[in-house]
Amino acid sequence: MTISDWKRAIYALLVLPGYLGGAKVQRGLARRWLGRETGGRPRFVAAFGPSAVAFLLALLLFYLVGRIATYGLFWTGSDPEGTWGGPTLAGAWIVHFLIAAGMAVPIFLALRPLTGLQARLLGGSAVKAH
Write out pLDDT tens, residues 12-56. Answer: 999 888 888 877 788 888 888 888 776 667 777 788 888 899 999
The string of pLDDT tens digits covering residues 54-99 is 999 999 999 988 887 777 676 665 655 556 666 677 777 788 788 8
For residues 80 and 123, the model is more confident at: 123
Residue 129: pLDDT band (50, 70, 90) is very low
Residue 10 φ then ψ, to 5°? -65, -45
CB-CB contact of 44 with 19 (8 Å): yes
